[in-house]
Structure 1
Amino acid sequence: MTPRADLTSYLIRYPQEAGLGDEDPATVLDRYHTPDYELVNDGVPLDRQRLLEHIRPARKRAAGLRVEVQQALVDGDQLAARYHLVTELRKGGTITTEIYMFGELAADGRLRRAVQATRILPST
């Protein structure tokens, strides 16, 4: 399964596998992203190494997570999505992040580059 084949499944599965799974984070990252993948999140560029440095501590903080996809579109090698990432913290509480993502796919269907704008939604 690649982001091109099923963007909604990628948006749901990747955070689950990366944030909560037992599999090596590098293996998970490489399954869905090219080796030169770059994520620009709220203006901050994150290459492969910086993403891996983010995943490992996130696994220690998250007790659970779910993704609520509002929109997901793939058109050729371009994609766009709007979704919520709802994270339950081990120390209690929940953080809901609204994410707007635009990306570029490689020929093999994996994600090559993504730009995201995020905001934390108020707790309900």
Structure 2
Amino acid sequence: MTPRTDLTGYLVRYPREAGLGDEDPAAVLDRYHTSDYELVNDGVLLDRRRLLDHIRPARKRAAGLRVEVEQALVDGDQVAARYRLVAELRKGGTITTEIYMFGELAADGRLRRAVQATRTIRPE
């Protein structure tokens, strides 16, 4: 499974595997992304090292993760998605983030680059 063959599956599985799993975060990252993968999240560039540095503390904070995909589109080597990531925290509480993602795929179907805009949805 790659983002090209199952973008919705990737959006659901990757955060769970990266944020909650016991597998080496680098192996999880490499399964779905190229070695030169770059993520620009809300204008901040995250390369491989910065992504791995983000995953390790996230594993300590998250008790559960759920992804609700509204739209996921693949067109050639381009992808786009609109979805929500719902994180349940170990210390209590939930953070819901709405994500708009646009990306570029490598020839093997993994993500090479993604740009995301996010917003936190406040509980009502």
TM-score w.r.t. length of structure 1: 0.99
Partner of 1:109: 109
- How many angstroms apart in 1 are the aligned matches of 2:85 and 2:43? 19
Equivalent position of 2:18 in the other structure:
18
CA distance in 2, matches of 1:122, 1:14: 24
Match of 2:71 in 1: 71
User: Which amino acid is 1:17 matched to?
Assistant: E
Distance (whole Å) between structure 2 residues aligned to residue 22 and residue 75 of structure 1: 33
Which contiguous aligned blocks of 4+ residues in structure 1 show a shift greater than 2 angstroms? none
Aligned residues: 124
Q: Which amino acid aligns with 2:46?
A: L
- The CA RMSD measured in Å over matched residues stands at 0.4
User: What is the one-letter code of the residue matched to 2:113?
Assistant: R
* Matching residue of 1:52: 52
Q: Any idea what SS the aligned residue of 1:31 has?
A: helix
SS of 1:9's equivalent in the other structure is: helix
SS at match of 1:108: coil
Q: Which residue type is aligned with residue 110 of structure 2?
A: R
The letter for the 1-side match of 2:87 is T
> How far apart, CA to CA, are the structure 2 residues paired with 1:123 and 1:53?
28
Q: Residue 123 of structure 1: CA displacement? A: 1.1
The answer to whether structure 1 residue 98 and structure 2 residue 98 are counterparts is yes
Helix, strand or coil at the partner of 2:28: helix
TM-score normalised according to structure 2 size: 0.99
Unaligned runs of 5+ in 1: none
